[in-house]
Amino acid sequence: MINFPIAKINIGLNITARRPDGYHNLETVFYPVKINDVLEVIQSDELSFQASGLGIPGRVEDNLCIKAYHLIKHDHHLPPISIHLHKHIPIGAGLGGGSADAGYFIKLINQTFNLGLSADAMMDYARLLGADCAFFIQSTPVFAFGKGDQFEPVTLNLSNYYIALVMPPTHVSTAEAYRGVKPTPVKQSLKQLVELPLAEWRNHIKNDFEESIFTNHPEIRGVKAALYQSGALYASMSGSGASVFGIFEKKPDLDFLKEDNQVFEGV
Ligand SMILES: C[C@](O)(CO)[C@H](O)COP(=O)(O)OP(=O)(O)OC[C@H]1O[C@@H](n2ccc(N)nc2=O)[C@H](O)[C@@H]1O
Ligand SMILES: Nc1ncnc2c1ncn2[C@@H]1O[C@H](COP(=O)(O)OP(=O)(O)OP(=O)(O)O)[C@@H](O)[C@H]1O
C-alpha cells in the first residue's frame, strides 16, 4: 500500500516557556501544504528500508519510519515489511517532513494490517516519535499548544490564496533553533490572532525563531523581504526554518528567486 505524506507550515510560532523535560511550550497554527513524499509498505520476508529522492541524513535505524514500525510492533502483531520512502519534502526546512513520514507511516500500517487503531490511538503513538508527528495523523489546520502536540480546531481556509514556499540552500536543525530562543509568555493568544483579516497578520503574528535564525543566516531574512516585495500579504519562516512561505492574493512572479533557492509554487 502507498500514501503521500504532506508538509506543514507554521502560521505564527510563540515559544512561551522552557519545560522541565528540556522541551519548550509553544503555540502555533499548523497548516498543511501540498509538497509530498511517497511512502510504500509491502509485506516481506525481512524488515528492509529503501530510500530514493533527497538524501536523508542519519542512520536507517533512526529513520522515523523504522522507529514507528518498532513502536507499533511492540503492541501489535506485525509481519516483516519492506518500506520504500521517496523523499521530496526538503529536510531541515521547518516543514515537518520527517514527522510527516512518521504520521503517515502509522496510518499506512494501520490500514495495511487492519489494526483498527482510532485517530486518537495513532496520535498517541505519533507523540512518542516527535513533537510535530501527531499533527500528520489528521493533517487538518489546528491551533497547537503544549510541546506542539496538543490541538484545538481552527477555522482557517487559505484555499482562495496562493501560497509559495522558498527553500534557501541552508538547512537549520530544530535543536539548534530552540537553543537560540528566549521563551516569553504571550500577551494575546495566536488562536485569536489568526481570526484577524489576513492583511493584518503581518503586524501581529510572528515566528519567535526568526530573530536568532536571521542573525545567523541573513539570506533567509532576504528571502522573506523578497516575498513581501513581490506582493505577499503575509510572509514568514516556517517552524525552525530554513524555508519561508508567502501568502499572496494571486500568483506572483518569483522567477528571480529560482537561481539561488528551490521555489515551490502554489502549495
Ligand atoms: C519547530 C517545530 O517544527 C514547530 O512546529 C517543532 O517544534 C519541531 O518538532 P519536531 O521536529 O517533531 O521535534 P522533536 O523531534 O520532538 O524535537 C527535536 C528537538 O527540538 C527541541 N524541541 C522540540 C519541540 C518542542 N516543543 N520543544 C523543543 O525544545 C528539543 O531540543 C528536541 O530535542
Ligand atoms: N523520514 C525522515 N525524513 C527526513 N528526516 C528524517 C526522517 N527520519 C528521521 N529524520 C531525521 O530528522 C532530521 C530532520 O530533522 P529537522 O528537525 O531538521 O526537520 P525539519 O525538516 O526541519 O522539520 P521540523 O519542522 O520537524 O523541524 C534529519 O536530519 C534526519 O536525521
Q: What is the rounded average pLDDT of the residues 121-137?
A: 98
Annotated binding site: 90-100
Q: Give residue 110's pLDDT band: very low, low, confident or very high (50, 70, 90).
A: very high
Give pLDDT, residue 176. 86
Q: Where in the chain is the domain with CATH 3.30.70.890?
A: 162-264
DSSP state of 169: S
Q: Is the CB of 63 under 6 A from ligand 2?
A: yes
- For 17, phi and psi rounded to 5 degrees? -165, 150
The percentage of residues in the chain with a pLDDT greater than 70, rounded to a whole number, is 100
Nearest CA to ligand 2 atom 20: 92
Its pTM stands at 0.97
Q: What is the rounded average pLDDT of the residues 77-86?
A: 98
Residue 209 C-alpha cell reads as: 525563531
Q: In what order do the strands lie in the sheet with 162-167?
A: 234-237, 244-248, 162-167, 262-264
For 216-254, the pLDDT digits (tens) are 999 999 999 999 999 999 999 999 999 999 999 999 999
Q: Where in the chain is the domain with CATH 3.30.230.10?
A: 2-153
Q: Is the CB of 248 under 6 A from ligand 1?
A: no
- Terminus-to-terminus CA distance in the chain, angstroms? 25
Query: Of all helices (H) and strands (E), which one includes residue 153?
Result: strand 150-153
Residue 117 C-alpha cell reads as: 487503531
Give pLDDT, residue 112. 98
Q: Is the peptide bond before 242 cis (omega within 30 degrees of 0)?
A: yes
Residues 165, 232: Cα–Cα separation, whole Å: 11
Specify whether 132 is catalytic: yes
Q: What fold characterizes domain 2-153? A: Ribosomal Protein S5; domain 2 (3.30.230)
Residue 32 C-alpha cell reads as: 498543511
Specify whether 258 is catalytic: no
The minimum-distance atom of ligand 2 relative to the CA of 102 is 1
Annotated binding site for ATP: 90-100
Neighbours of 128 (CB within 10 A): 13
162-264 in CATH: which number? Answer: 3.30.70.890
Nearest CA to ligand 2 atom 9: 63
Give pLDDT, residue 7. 98
Q: Please give the ipTM for the structure prediction.
A: 0.95
Residues 106, 104: Cα–Cα separation, whole Å: 5
CA distances in angstroms from 97 to 36, 43, 200, listed in the order given: 9, 24, 29
